[in-house]
A and B are shown apart, each in its own frame.
Chain A
Amino acid sequence: MVEKILFIVFAAFAVAGALGVITRSNIVHGLILLVFTFINVAGIFLLTQAHFLAVIQVLVYAGAILVLFAFVVMFLNLREFQQEEQFHRGQKWAVIVLAPIMLAEIIFVVTAVTWASVNDGFSPEAIAAQGGNVKVLGEQLFTKMLLPFEVASLILLVGMVGAILLAAKEDRESVCLREWDDDDGVTPSLVEREV
């Protein structure tokens, strides 16, 4: 019973935070609200006995990834964008109308289906008996899931290299770059730029 109440509280906070993220015009506010949402999601993970994931959610997601966001936000001077229109004018209404209906439809489908448990034997009690969530999960990750795990590391490596390549300032002698014109719709042209 307590679980259910906690779930509803966490869920309500998460949804409220999410709504805040997409409505706030201040990016920093949005970022904070996103962290808030993620922490609530981590709470829901805890309620589900996914202890490791809950920790990771806070550490990696709310910690690392969102701090990265925060850094970039700080690097760029984003204050000027707050004065601008934050929503697409026409599109906004389409989404405001359609999104709730879509949500209703999903909820309708989700509740209309009878979900049967497969029960593979990893009930929270069984996990606890084997030494806890973190141990069992780790064992699976490094045995059954070893190959995907290695691939995941590769993805991270590639992501890292890509990020560095994209964000680094070009220090080659001269590079052909597209000259972006601030005027809307002007065809870009190739220009020689000295760096």
Chain B
Amino acid sequence: MNYVLPLIPALPLVAFVVTLFLGKWWLKDSAHWIPIVAMAASFVLSVAAFLAIRGEEHAIVVELWRWIPVGDFQVPIAFQLDQLSAVMLLVVTGVGTLIFIYSKGYMHHDPGYYRFFAYLSLFAFSMLMLVLGSNYLLLYLGWELVGLCSYYLIGFYYHKPSAASAGKKAFLTNRVGDFGFGIGVMLIFVTFGTLDYIEVFEKVEHHVASEGVLLAIGLLLFLGAMGKSAQFPLHVWLPDAMEGPTPVSALIHAATMVTAGVYMVARSSVIFASAPTAMLVVGAVGAFTAIFAASIGLAQNDIKRVMAYSTVSQLGYMFMALGIGAWVAAIFHLVTHAFFKALLFLGSGSVIHSLSGEQDMRKMGGLAKKIPFTYWTLMAGALALSGIVPFAGFWSKDEILGMNFKGGGYVIWAVGLIAAFITAFYTFRLIFMTFWGESRMDPEVEKHVHESPWSMVVPLMVLGVLSVFGGFLGFPPENGVFHKFLEPVFHQANEILHVEHHYFGMLDFVLMVVSVVVALSGVFFAYLFYVKRPDELPQKAGAVSQPLYKAILNKWYIDEFYNATIIRLTVDGSRWLWRVVDAGVIDGAVNGVGRLWDIAGRVVSPFQTGRVQNYAVVMFIGLFVIVTAVIVF
């Protein structure tokens, strides 16, 4: 393991460096090979790591070298392999490999081909560092690195102003969260004197810190998670991030990076378990985000934006689970979500690819026959997302809802249920608008509709299979293979929370039926609205709830609110600082100093006449004064 573990992030790093420096002149159109091979190798190593950690009680820590050895502040570059990081490794490298392969087809002919693969490799490296780090500073390092890659890749089409500003928006919004995260890390160090996971959690268990401090740490960490995982009110960047290429949306903004927040909270489960209020906040924010983002997803017409809001909403589910202490359920949903959301994004990408770049669902329709592979795989993903038995999303989502109900979080459960209904509705709205019904495509576009190349279809099929069967990892609910595997990681946190072991019972079955019925009704309503009577019902519904509809269409005016308050304030404040403080005071002072010496020079320079006798006379006068002074005094 000592050699395997460091190699997992090292391979993509090598791929990044090689591709970046050789890509432009040498690799060119074959720039994809090195990253794909590196990523696949990482995946194989991750499987090896997974096999090695299975059933182990303790984490394996591999220290490479001391990074920052300053007095008491010792930060090593060390990798920690436990069941949680093993799962994340598999998700990142597995889904990553598939998306790398997919990118080969999708990004073909793009002038920035090598650049794209270089960035993707850098991202893979950063994400693996984030997942593998054995202390909070390494987590923070990976956290910032993935944010940077996200910025690069959102703004990949940097010549497009909207893409460039979307990248900036993502970066700036994340800064808000990262600020909290950074302070949280500092607070951890101040409180516990170490940043190492194992040591910190041990000290938490021994009540080194008061609950107030733990609450503060928890909330600060969660602020970081809110930024990275796009939770309300810091969710605004994720929908805009869809400006990036679709593989990026799939890998970074659906499957892996945005789940970093979930990973981080799950990783800090001991801290959160010791601060119940923080958990409550996590759950509440998650539930609100779940329904809030789902509602916005209802009215979006851009296929990728629907997915984006869906991602925000599903991340909300994960935080809901974390809020109730259902750590495994959250990670389980993270995994299944990675499968089906990556699938959905890649499928949307395939649709967009076949339609020569069209993203507006109103200009699609009737595509099922023309691109059957895409249709069927996307259908599997949609069923998984909607939570239909027995697809992957059902098991994980139902477990979250069930645990909330049994844990007494009835409100959150109800909210989650409504969100599930909305999810099913908008998911199938997407399917129906895109693949069913009459064609609404431009005739010009329609002529060129074609199934995507194999490099794109194969990853879709693999992910489709995973979306269909992935849920059985967690079967039966709360006692599946997955749960047994992850048990050692959350052992400490569960002990603090006094979680009792549940077995599948009648109540669980009833709850399952309820959520299936809700999901199916969502699908049914979508069918009613967009297949049966697509010409009247949507308009009617829109007309009945006019203000609500408008609010949803405009994403609840969150962006406008930010524009009017924070951004406006910042811009006006900056302008004031520029005009008054910078131009007036600072420039004035600088210019004033310059002018002072200019004036002084003008005043004094006549004394330097260049005539030696003038100087001599002054000397003489000086001598005279001295002599006079000597005589007089």
Contact = CB atoms under 8 A, between A and B. Distances in A.
Interface stretch (A8-16, A93-101, A133-141): A93-101
Interface stretch (B204-212, B510-518, B621-629): B621-629
B627 A98 contact: no
A151 interface: no
Interface stretch (A27-35, A75-83, A102-110, A122-130): A102-110
A117 to B, nearest CB: 25
B613 interface: yes
A119 to B, nearest CB: 29
B624 A98 contact: yes
Interface residues of B, number: 10
A94 B613 contact: no
A174 interface: no
Contact of B613 (A88, A102, A109): A88
B476 to A, nearest CB: 97
B620 interface: yes
B624 A102 contact: yes
A98 B613 contact: no
A105 B627 contact: yes
A91 interface: yes
A95 B628 CA distance: 15
B631 interface: yes
Contacts of B627: 102, 105-106, 109
B554 interface: no
B628 A105 contact: yes
Question: Does more than half of chain A's interface fall in helix, strand or loop, or is it mixed?
Answer: helix
A91 B617 contact: yes
A179 B620 CA distance: 33
Chain A interface size range: 10 to 19
Contact of A91 (B613, B623, B624, B631): B613
B614 interface: yes
A88 B611 CA distance: 11
A98 to B, nearest CB: 5
Contact of A98 (B614, B621, B631): B621
A98 B624 CA distance: 8
A50 B613 CA distance: 35
A106 B620 CA distance: 14
Interface in B241-282: none
Nearest to B620: A98
Given A88-B613, A109-B631, 14 more contacts: A91-B613, A94-B621, A95-B617, A101-B624, A101-B628, A102-B620, A102-B623, A102-B627, A105-B624, A105-B627, A105-B628, A105-B631, A106-B627, A109-B627
Interface of B: 613-614, 617, 620-621, 623-624, 627-628, 631
